[in-house]
Amino acid sequence: MALLAALTLHADGDDDGAAFATGVGCLLAGLALGALAASAAYEAPLLAWHQAQEQVGPAVVEGTLREDASSTPRGVALVVDVDRAEGHALSGGVRLSVAGVIAPTAALEWTRGRRLRVRAHLRRPIAYRNPGVTDDARALARRGICLVGSV
């Protein structure tokens, strides 16, 4: 109603009404875009596929490295933009941990943009429910990572 009134005022030459209508329009557009982005982040197709799977073992995932591999105390970490899982075309991000003796040496070849096909044990990130501790699952989802796993 306020938007309609503001547009009516603008027709009579009231510049304040036009500024108000523009501000309300921008606010509503921002809220709609934010809601769509949150929905896409928290409901990735890869996550829905993973939840529907009955298998407990590893899955074959294919995708592109989002960034160069990084060393961790227990091996190497990879962030993969998945486009296929077990032969199904899907989208979503996965953070993988690679352990083993050759992982640090192989990590030099795992650079941004490289295609990978790996068999990984996938799971949802842990959501800590302790007061004062940030929710890692939601933080990862906002960065486009819906699953974590080990290779």
Higher pLDDT residue, 78 or 132? Answer: 78
Task: Report, as an integer, the average pLDDT of 131-147.
Answer: 80
From the list 145, 151, 49, the residue with the least C-alpha distance to 110 is: 151
Task: Report, as an integer, the average pLDDT of 86-103.
Answer: 91
Confidence grade of residue 98 (pLDDT, cut at 50, 70, 90): very high
Confidence grade of residue 40 (pLDDT, cut at 50, 70, 90): low
- CA–chain centroid gap for 27, Å, is 24
Confidence grade of residue 41 (pLDDT, cut at 50, 70, 90): low
* Type and span of the H or E element at 106: helix 103-106
The sign of the dihedral angle between the CA atoms of 139, 98, 126, 131 is negative
Confidence grade of residue 130 (pLDDT, cut at 50, 70, 90): confident
Confidence grade of residue 26 (pLDDT, cut at 50, 70, 90): confident
Confidence grade of residue 35 (pLDDT, cut at 50, 70, 90): low
